[in-house]
Amino acid sequence: MNSPEPANAGISIIGAGPGGLTCARILQQRGIAVTVYDRDPGPHARNQGGTLDLHADNGQVALREAGLLDEFFALARPEGQEMRRLDPTGTITSRHVPAPDELFKPEIDRGQLRDLLLDSLQPGTVRWGHALDTISGPADGPRRLHFADGTSIETDLVIGADGAFSRVRPAVSPAVPEYTGVGFLEAWFSDVENRHPEIAELVGAGSAHAADGERALFAQRNSGNHIRVHIIRRVPLDWISTHGLTAEDTDGIRAVLRHEYAHWSPRMRRMITENDGPYVDRPILALPVPHTWEHDATVTLLGDAAHLMPPLGVGVNLAMLDAGELALALANAATVDDAVLTYEKTMLPRSTEAAKALEHGAEHLLSTDVHDGSGDSEAQPHEQGENEVFGRRRQTTAQPEAAFR
């Protein structure tokens, strides 16, 4: 089968996260029809997670191409760029306070970013309640998407934007995420200025990180007077059950944490054991490095589906950069096959370079080393390189203090 022109092709995006929605928005702006399929029953079926930063040299570039940069800045929190490094006593050892006009990586809640992108799409673009089961059909197309509800549709291009456990990835790669050996335990704090003023004072307007070489925590302001704390430890994947606990046993988990963090000061332990509600266990997974695949004219991947890495501040930014590049490749290519080739020629080397730089980044989060007074960790890997993106030169830098979203 000859590859169709993008303007006449059926294009299906699996996953209504920032990457998938950014790709859909830019395609629609260029007159290319697209449908997004998502497993959730609706846009607000679940909490979208904490806060994230969008960098001026990747995430913001994609939003500019989508025509949404001004709307993003209206929602973003530039003050969230503040970064504090604490020691286990709660003493500030370094601090970065953003300048009044600093907009390199302002924070925005994930839910706000998702709503911004959803509201920018044509009505009916996202088909909710469509959990992908399998993909069938020849490699040269058309492909058939089979959903868990028994329905199926035919399409010329499948774009996997469905995250770590992508159901699209098996069509091009046998790779599966692997545990890094480091786990995050998420704790939530609400109405912090009134209910948790000491924690609010410790964290400040942005983020705070503390480590002792074996364990760490990362606390971050969200909008609405909320703070999320990630308790970071080197633990077995089944650490909860090996302690004879379940994920719902909040008191039992607190007892374990009190023991492990006993040498930290009482005010630092408040961020570990005085949370509102249960903990959320989030083991840190990553795809093998490098993760590449043989070109397929009808299937491609973006974001975590393509290059799941430790959470060091690049995940959403790279997903949105991927999305913008793929959308523009489709808008400018003669065929879908040509567009996918053009996109993967840039994306795969870039993601491989970044993944190599961040391969052991989860371990570095436990380090006590510091680089300087800016709040960056000396042990944090940095990935820098220049690529042609949206017709301009860009530089990418992985910033660890923006992690743990």
**pLDDT tens-digit series, residues 70-92:** 999 999 999 999 999 999 999 99
Among 251, 286, 321, which residue terminates a domain?
286
198 confidence band (pLDDT: 50, 70, 90): very high
Query: In this structure, which amino acid lies at residue 214?
Result: E
Q: How far is CA 230 from CA 16, 19, 132, 257, 405, in A?
A: 25, 24, 31, 12, 9
**Residues sharing a CB contact under 8 Å with residue 6, sequence separation 6 or more, in sequence order:** 32, 330, 331, 333, 335, 336, 339
CATH number for 339: 3.50.50.60
Among 253, 286, 319, which residue terminates a domain?
286
47 confidence band (pLDDT: 50, 70, 90): confident
* Structure tokens belonging to residue 125: 């673009």
Question: What radius of gyration, in Å, describes the C-alpha atoms of the chain?
Answer: 21
pLDDT in tens, 303-359: 999 999 998 878 999 999 999 999 999 999 999 999 999 999 999 999 999 999 998
The percent of residues above 70 in pLDDT, for the chain, comes to 91
- The range of the structural domain enclosing residue 187 comes to 180-286
CATH number for 214: 3.30.9.30
Q: Are residues 210 and 350 in the same domain?
A: no
Start-to-end C-alpha separation, the chain: 42
pLDDT in tens, 134-174: 999 999 999 999 999 999 999 999 999 999 999 999 999 99
In a domain, 215, yes or no: yes
Listed in sequence order, the DSSP H helices in 42-144 are 59-65, 69-75, 110-119
216 confidence band (pLDDT: 50, 70, 90): very high
Looking at residue 77, the DSSP 8-state letter turns out to be B
In a domain, 95, yes or no: no
In a domain, 133, yes or no: yes
Q: Are residues 167 and 228 in the same domain?
A: no
pLDDT in tens, 245-258: 999 999 999 999 99
- Report yes or no: 350 and 385 within 8 Å, Cβ to Cβ: yes
Beta bridge partners of 143: 155
d(CA 97, CA 205): 9
Q: Is the dihedral of CA 317, 184, 179, 380 positive or negative?
A: positive
The percent of residues above 90 in pLDDT, for the chain, comes to 83
Q: Are residues 271 and 145 in the same domain?
A: no
The answer to which of 34-48, 80-94, 367-381 has the lowest mean pLDDT is 367-381
Report the domain count for the chain.
Answer: 2
Q: What is the pTM of this model?
A: 0.90
**Cα–Cα–Cα angle for 55, 125, 223, rounded to 5 degrees:** 40
d(CA 226, CA 193): 9
Q: Are residues 69 and 217 in the same domain?
A: no
Q: How far is CA 350 from CA 202, 325, 394, in A?
A: 37, 12, 12
In a domain, 93, yes or no: no
Among 242, 266, 286, which residue terminates a domain?
286
In the predicted structure, residue 6 carries a pLDDT above the cut 70: yes
d(CA 132, CA 148): 6
Q: Are residues 139 and 166 in the same domain?
A: yes
Name the residue among 366, 383, 377, 372 with its Cα closest to residue 400: 377
Q: Are residues 193 and 321 in the same domain?
A: no
Q: Are residues 233 and 361 in the same domain?
A: no
Q: Are residues 271 and 311 in the same domain?
A: no
In a domain, 96, yes or no: no
Cα 112 to its chain centre, rounded Å, is 14
